[in-house]
Amino acid sequence: MKIDTIKHLKDHQLELGFSDGTSKVIDLGNFIKSSNHPLIKKYADIELFKQVYLDETGTPCWGNNEFDISPKSIIKGDFDIT
C-alpha cells in the first residue's frame, strides 16, 4: 500500500489517501513539538508544515527532503488521532 495523496487539514494534521482507496488522518503535532532536532522542530511553524509534499516513493516530506515521515510508521498507526 502506497500513499498517493496528502492534504494539510489544520494545525499539524494531514489527510493521507492510499493506493487501496482508504484514507487516514494523522496528527504530527506532539511528535514535532517533542523533538529536539532542529530540522524537525522548525516545522512547528504551521506555514512551513503546510508545505508538505510526497516524494517519488509516496513518503511525506518537508523542505529539500530534510524531514520525512516513514509510511510504515503511518500505516502502523504511530501518528493516529485518538
CATH of residue 24's domain is 3.30.2020.10
Q: What is the pLDDT of residue 66?
A: 87
Provide the pLDDT for residue 28: 96
CB atoms within 10 A of CB 29: 16
Single pTM value for the model = 0.91
pLDDT of the residue at 82: 58
List, for residues 17-67, the tens digit of each pLDDT value.
999 999 999 999 999 999 999 999 999 999 999 999 999 999 999 998 789
Which residues sit opposite 14 in a β-bridge? 8, 26
pLDDT at 65: 77
pLDDT value of residue 69: 94
Name the domain count of the chain: 1
Domain that holds residue 57: 3-76
Domain-located, residue 82: no
User: Residue 48: what residue type?
Assistant: L
H helix intervals, 2-82: 29-34, 38-41, 46-49, 71-76
Count the neighbouring beta carbons within 10 Å of the beta carbon of residue 11: 11
Mean pLDDT, residues 58-80 taken together? 92
One-letter amino acid of 79? F
